[in-house]
């Protein structure tokens, strides 16, 4: 049993309270590699931002849970080494799908877990989330649960309205499960292809997707005032990264994300955690493709992972400062 407090990590409770009250959102960046971890920590320290480092089941399979936990422990020490005396770093399980997986993470140093029962029938989702909460809270680990189905990974239908979170369910769900935060579905989806071009409108040569369902978000906030809300699938899929990838041998067609002004608007509401993974993948891939195309003789991974790390760091800082507004929001510097 490894408790997260012994690793210098924190749970999400206090940072969410401050984020909801302050009208900003905490970045939740997925990581699978050391370079992503380093870039996340450098960005968080330079901007004095709290940060959630999240690990999916796929990340655990790729990198090994023990290694990722030790990277998170290293992240705290690294942040201090970079001059941040009181870093606020959460190690979070992203999309946990079973009680056993959540328990394993809680028992092995995670400070926060997500139990994603959103594809289950309502009562089964409640029962599973409640079971995880009861276990997690014994160790002061916070729990994110989900209501409503995201398009894409969780559903074949792209951004279908019928899968939006039902505001009439949220009070019952939050009360009976005891969850600490709630992931909702209001039109975001995972990956780099969130909308088809047919769903978008062409404005000044740019494809603009339909807006998020802010009316649904407002109804949810009315039912659960001040309750921490989470947005998954919030990469904006920057055109410049997509263009770089395509220029240097990649082939990404119709890659469309969530416009950043919509995320800015969401961050001002009770949305206090915004999940970003695909933008990091795009930043990394674009930098590696460019470097290798321009330096065909290079074969030392450090030569192309260094610009990849720098490009991810630039993107993380941009999100923190220009989109989520969590810069300067550490309780103590
Ligand atoms: O929601 C996410 C992780 O849980 C990531 O979403 P993106 O694919 O939009 O980056
Ligand atoms: O929810 C999706 C996240 O981007 C994690 O993706 P992954 O399961 O491929 O690691
Ligand atoms: Zn889900
Ligand atoms: Zn997600």
Residue 152 reports pLDDT greater than 70:
no
CATH code assigned at 196: 3.20.20.70
Residue 153 reports pLDDT greater than 50:
no
- Specify the range with the lowest mean pLDDT, choosing from 158-172, 237-251, 252-266: 158-172
Strands 181-184 and 142-147: parallel
> CB 166: neighbour CB atoms within 10 A?
16
Does any domain span residue 190? yes
Does any domain span residue 30? yes
234 CB less than 6 Å from ligand 1?
Answer: yes
Neighbours of ion ligand 4 (CB under 5 A): 232
Does any domain span residue 213? yes
As for how many domains the chain has, the answer is: 1
User: What is the 95 CA–ligand 2 centroid distance (Å)?
Assistant: 8
pLDDT band for 135, please (50, 70, 90 cuts).
Answer: very high
Question: What percentage of residues in the chain have a pLDDT greater than 70?
Answer: 97
Residue 162 reports pLDDT greater than 70:
no
Residue 159 reports pLDDT greater than 70:
no
Does any domain span residue 331? no
Q: Tell me which residue range forms the domain holding 186.
A: 4-324
* Mean pLDDT score, 118-123: 96
Does any domain span residue 333? no
Are the beta carbons of 138 and 132 closer than 8 angstroms? no
ipTM above 0.90, yes or no: yes
Catalytic status, residue 116: no
Gyration radius of the chain's alpha carbons: 19
The closest of 46, 51, 41, 43 to 79, measured between CA atoms, is 41
């Amino acid at each position: 049993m490894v408790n997260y407090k012994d690793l210098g990590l924190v749970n999400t409770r206090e940072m969410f309270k401050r984020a909801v009250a302050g009208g900003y959102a905490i970045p939740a960046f997925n990581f699978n590699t050391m370079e992503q971890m380093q870039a996340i920590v450098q960005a968080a320290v330079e901007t004095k931002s709290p940060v959630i480092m999240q690990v999916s089941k796929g990340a655990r399979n790729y990198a090994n849970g023990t290694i990722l936990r030790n990277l998170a422990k290293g992240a705290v020490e690294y942040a201090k080494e970079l001059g941040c005396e009181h870093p606020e770093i959460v190690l979070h399980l992203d999309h946990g799908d079973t009680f056993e997986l959540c328990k394993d993470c809680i028992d092995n140093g995670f400070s926060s877990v997500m139990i994603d029962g959103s594809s289950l029938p309502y009562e089964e989702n409640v029962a599973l989330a409640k079971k995880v909460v009861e276990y997690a809270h014994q160790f002061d680990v916070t729990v994110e649960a989900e209501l409503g189905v995201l398009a894409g990974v969780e559903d074949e239908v792209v951004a279908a309205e019928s899968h939006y979170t039902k505001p009439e369910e949220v009070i019952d769900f939050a009360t009976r499960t005891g969850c600490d935060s709630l992931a909702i579905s209001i039109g975001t989806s995972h990956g780099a292809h969130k909308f088809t071009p047919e769903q978008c409108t062409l404005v000044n040569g740019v494809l603009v997707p339909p807006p998020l369902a802010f009316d649904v978000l407002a109804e949810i906030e009315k039912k659960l005032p001040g309750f921490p809300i989470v947005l998954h699938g919030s990469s904006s899929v920057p055109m410049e990264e997509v263009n770089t990838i395509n220029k240097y041998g990649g082939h990404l067609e119709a890659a469309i994300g969530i416009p950043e002004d919509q995320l800015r608007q969401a961050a001002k509401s009770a949305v206090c955690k915004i999940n970003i993974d695909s933008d990091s993948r795009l930043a990394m891939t674009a930098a590696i493709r460019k470097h290798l195309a321009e330096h065909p003789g290079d074969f030392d991974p450090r030569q192309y992972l260094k610009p990849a790390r720098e490009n991810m760091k630039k993107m993380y800082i941009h999100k923190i400062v220009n989109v989520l507004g969590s810069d300067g929001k550490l309780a103590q510097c």
